[in-house]
Structures are given as structure tokens and as C-alpha cells.
């Protein structure tokens, strides 16, 4: 089944105003940017881009959730990242015209806006603020990747899980007592991200919940004691 072109029910400009790539753009530019995005809908399990393909479009997530999968040399799929509403992906291929580095699939029904590489490059040339925002985002992602690699080398699973939860809370502006991750990444996603087994992650999460550091529910996590979550890091 191919993605459909059904238009989103929510105002696109409302979503775009929260996208880091477009931070600081005035309402007129947001409307123009929205008009340059082709709407599309994907169902659970559908693939948007596939690792190794040569497409170059960039995508903005209006609603829903996707997962980025990296195919290892032995053919195993490893969950690399989650992409939720208000985020974007595909900009690297649009910039360097190289094959896709990840397979991106919908984890639930998802609505997207798609922009051609030519249009994105035109926006970058005509709106310096957008180009600057993209440079900042790429720098932050590179920094996060460096910290992630460092964490894999020096930390045990308990510390890696704690660091992951703190990082996610920071990204969602929930790094505070009572901060909530909703949805919270699954144990499988956390395990693949930090380089551990699902069972090891589940044990750490259960211990954190039992000792009152966090409270967990269905795809929801609340930070009960942020000081203790930081302990040992």
C-alpha cells in the first residue's frame, strides 16, 4: 500500500510553528512553507524512505509517530530513533544527494508534509534564518551522537538507561520533578538505542519504578524523583 495524499485535519501552520527548522520565521513565511509541502498519510508499518534508496525529499511530521531503522551488515534491524509530531527528517539526502542512511517507517497512522530537495535548497538560499536553524539542528544532533557513543563506552546499563531518560526529558522540556514522557519510548527502542538487551532495560526500569524514581504506565513515564534519577551519572 502506497502513502495517500489526504490533507491533514489540523492546521499545518500550527505544527510548523513548533518545528525547530522554522523557528523565528514570520507567519507569512510559515504559510508559504506550508504551501510548498505536499501532504501525505501513511498507515502503521508503511515505509516512507528505505535505507540505501536515492530519493531526496525532506519530510515534516504533522501527527503520529515513526521509527528509524538501521539495517546491520548481518541483516538485523536496529531501532535507531523515534520521530514524532513537530520534527523533520530526510534533510541530509536533500543536502548531499547521497543514499538514505535509515529506513523510516510509521509506528502508527502518521500525517506528513513532503518537500523536494530543490525547494528546500531554495528556501535555504532565500531565508538565511532557516539555513541557520538547520545548521544548529545538525550541530546538536552531532553533539548528541558523540555523547551517545561516549555513553556506550563508559557506562553500564543502569547509567545508560538513566542518561537516556534524562536526555529524552530534556528534549521534551520535561527535565523537572513531575516531568512526563508521553509517549515514552518502548523498552525495545531504549535497548537498541543504548546498546543493551530488552531484558536488561526492563530490569532497570522496574527497579527505578519500585524505588520511586519514576512512575510508569502504558507508553507513559513520569519523573518522580529527578535528583535520584541523576544519581551515579
pLDDT tens-digit map of 21-30:
999 999 999 9
Mean pLDDT confidence for 107-136: 96
- Domain shared by 67 and 23, yes or no: yes
105 CB-near residues (< 8 Å, 6+ apart): 45, 46, 47, 48, 66, 67, 69
pLDDT, position 102 = 87
pLDDT, position 45 = 87
| Residue 137 in domain | no
| Residue 104 in domain | yes
| Residue 92 in domain | yes
Task: Compute the C-alpha angle 100/171/113, nearest 5°.
Answer: 45
| Residue 119 in domain | yes
- Domain boundary at 99, 130, 161, which? 130
Give 212's Cβ-side CA count (13 Å radius).
2
Peptide bond between residue 154 and the one before it cis (omega within 30 degrees of 0): no
Please count the other Cβ atoms lying within 10 Å of the Cβ belonging to residue 61: 22
Instruction: Kindly indicate the confidence band of residue 149, based on its pLDDT and cuts at 50, 70 and 90.
Output: low
Residue with cell 510509521: 106
- Domain shared by 119 and 167, yes or no: no
- Domain shared by 18 and 124, yes or no: yes
> What's the CATH code of the domain at 122?
2.60.120.10
- Domain shared by 124 and 22, yes or no: yes
- Total domain count, the chain: 2
pLDDT, position 196 = 86
Among the listed residues 72, 97, 91, 94, the one whose alpha carbon sits nearest the alpha carbon of residue 195: 72
| Residue 197 in domain | yes
- Domain shared by 115 and 55, yes or no: yes
Q: Could you tell me the residue range of the domain that residue 120 belongs to?
A: 12-130
- Domain shared by 116 and 23, yes or no: yes
Residue with cell 556506550: 152
pLDDT tens-digit map of 33-73:
999 999 999 998 899 999 899 999 999 999 998 988 776 55
> What's the CATH code of the domain at 223?
1.10.10.10
Amino acid at each position: 500500500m502506497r502513502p495517500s495524499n489526504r490533507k491533514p485535519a489540523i492546521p499545518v501552520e500550527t505544527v510548523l510553528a513548533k518545528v525547530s527548522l522554522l523557528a523565528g520565521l514570520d507567519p507569512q513565511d510559515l504559510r508559504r512553507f506550508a504551501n510548498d509541502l505536499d501532504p501525505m498519510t501513511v498507515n502503521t508499518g508503511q515505509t516512507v524512505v528505505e535505507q540505501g534508496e536515492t530519493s531526496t525529499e525532506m519530510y515534516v511530521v504533522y501527527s503520529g509517530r515513526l521509527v528509524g531503522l538501521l539495517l546491520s551488515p548481518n541483516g538485523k534491524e536496529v531501532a535507531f530513533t523515534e520521530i514524532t509530531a513537530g520534527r523533520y527528517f530526510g534533510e541530509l539526502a536533500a543536502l548531499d544527494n547521497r543514499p538514505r542512511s535509515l529506513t523510516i517507517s510509521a509506528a502508527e497512522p502518521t500525517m506528513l508534509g513532503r518537500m523536494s530537495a530543490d525547494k528546500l535548497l531554495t528556501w535555504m538560499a532565500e531565508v538565511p534564518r532557516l539555513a541557520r536553524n538547520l545548521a544548529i539542528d545538525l550541530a546538536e544532533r552531532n553533539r548528541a551522537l558523540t555523547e551517545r557513543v561516549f555513553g556506550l563506552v563508559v557506562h553500564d546499563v543502569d547509567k545508560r538507561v538513566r542518561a537516556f531518560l534524562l536526555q529524552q526529558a530534556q528534549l521534551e522540556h520535561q527535565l523537572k520533578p513531575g516531568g512526563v514522557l508521553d509517549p515514552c519510548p518502548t523498552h525495545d527502542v531504549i535497548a537498541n538505542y543504548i546498546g543493551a538487551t530488552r531484558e536488561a532495560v526492563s530490569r532497570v526500569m522496574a527497579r527505578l519504578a519500585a524505588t520511586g524514581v519514576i512512575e510508569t504506565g502504558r507508553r507513559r513515564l513520569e519523573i518522580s524523583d529527578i535528583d535520584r534519577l541523576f544519581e551515579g551519572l
